[in-house]
A and B are shown apart, each in its own frame.
Chain A
């Protein structure tokens, strides 16, 4: 029989693990809501701007948010400390950023060639690939038992079916052209996004803070996006398009900012419940995007009953899938396999094992300096805020019908998610 103190520690460990699982699930829900809301500001932008330029401006907003938010929450000293401990992860962060940028560009071509209704479900399959990589490389779903495996895999499949219904319903028209190119582009985007979760999981198993990871991710993202935009349009035409779109730059950058908040929650979900559960949960963003479209922008106004039935059916399927995954949290045995994968990483790259263990538990190493903010952090926050304020003064409110009541309600829900999830992260992990 183990000593009393040892059994007490085991009970404490199990309780901590359960708390982190719940936190990860909450982060997955918050990620879905915020990622879905990121589409709202972009809907205010009228057509006539190149999709590549829209994507490029959003990425600039993303870049500013990815540096200012970590500086505000933890301070750049924490980012520097993380990088000193696991410098190899910069490579994976840059790689993940590049994968995101190429995938995002492919989706633009996919929508152009086959329409959103076919393209979205194809690239939404990224969660299935995420599950495969999680299983193959990071011991996820190992010794999880058939019920939990079925819950995660079945939930992801049901979500894909729901996503298909929602995409068909929300598509205002048929595919622009039945092109094989579009299908390849959508599938390619799904594969790129699904593979992007390898760097995510690797970083978090090695103990890197999600807030540190996203700062370096942004260099890969902005660098690759700039390269693609310049090679596609040319430097002078790109500059000309940016100048002529200055009245909408704020809205697009705001979309990028909202997206980053969702992505930070997604990163925490990937950290605490793994990519096989975190990614499908945050893929519920499609549901939230549709809610904004229907309730705020009146997108399905006057459409047939069958369309509404498709929306309701798709939403129910999405919720069913989300529920199945949320109730399939990892058991102690599976978490032991995660720790094995973490030990493998710390051995391979010479990262201190107590640091990796502490970060997996969402806490600091004993004696580690508490994160603090300095002059550089406030400078970053002020600079990013100033850029947003400057473009806000240039922005023009578009002439379009917006239902402000539902917009306020959905915004309140977002703020509620932010407060609840932010507080839960702070209380449980101090954002570690």
Chain B
């Protein structure tokens, strides 16, 4: 594990994938988005 840290460079890593592509393919993005949509629908339903 310590090796993992030490292997990284000081500068930001270059990433060939687009910034937005990273966001849109991240499950950490879609779970909150799905829950937010569900919450808004629920709010509309109970109002």
Contacts and interface: CB of A to CB of B under 8 A. Distances in A.
B16 to A, nearest CB: 10
Given A340-B1, A352-B13, A354-B8, A92 B46 contact: no
Given A88-B19, A95-B32, A339-B5, A188 B12 contact: no
A198 B39 contact: no
Interface string A94-135: 011011001101100100010000000000000000000100
A84 B13 CA distance: 14
Given A92-B29, A137-B27, A195-B31, A349 B15 contact: yes
Contacts of B45: 181, 184
Nearest to A351: B12
Residue in A85, A340, A348 with the greatest tally of chain B CB atoms within 10 Å: A348
Given A91-B23, A196-B32, A336-B1, A352 B10 contact: yes
Interface residues of B, number: 31
Contacts of A113: 46
A188 B40 CA distance: 10
Contacts of B4: 339-340, 343
B33 A95 contact: yes
Interface in A347-394: 347-354, 357
Given A346-B13, A350-B14, A352-B11, A102 B46 contact: no
A102 B13 contact: no
Interface of B: 1, 4-5, 8-15, 19, 22-23, 26-29, 31-33, 35-36, 38-40, 42-43, 45-47
Contact of B43 (A88, A102, A195, A349): A102
A192 B35 contact: yes
Nearest to B35: A195
Nearest to A337: B1
- Grouping DSSP codes into helix (H, G, I), strand (E, B) and loop, the A interface class, with mixed when no group exceeds half, is helix
A199 B1 contact: no
Contact of B38 (A109, A188, A339, A340): A188
Interface string A252-264: 0000000000000
Given A192-B36, A350-B14, A202 B28 contact: yes
Nearest to B41: A188
A232 interface: yes
B46 A191 contact: no
B6 to A, nearest CB: 9
A368 to B, nearest CB: 11
A95 B31 CA distance: 11
A431 to B, nearest CB: 23
B35 A232 contact: no
Given A346-B13, A349-B22, A350-B14, 18 more contacts: A87-B19, A88-B22, A91-B29, A102-B43, A103-B39, A106-B39, A109-B46, A109-B47, A137-B28, A185-B46, A188-B42, A191-B35, A196-B32, A198-B31, A199-B32, A336-B1, A346-B8, A350-B15
24 contacts: A87-B19, A91-B29, A92-B28, A92-B32, A95-B32, A95-B36, A96-B32, A99-B39, A102-B36, A102-B43, A106-B42, A137-B28, A191-B35, A191-B39, A192-B36, A192-B39, A339-B5, A343-B5, A343-B8, A347-B13, A349-B15, A351-B12, A353-B8, A354-B8
B28 A85 contact: no
- Which 5 pairs show the lowest CB-CB distances between chains A and B? A353-B8, A350-B15, A102-B39, A195-B35, A181-B46
A74 B40 CA distance: 35
Contact of A185 (B9, B27, B42): B42
A50 B8 CA distance: 54
Contacts of A336: 1
A114 B38 CA distance: 21
A36 to B, nearest CB: 25
B42 A99 contact: no
Contacts of B27: 137
B5 A188 contact: no
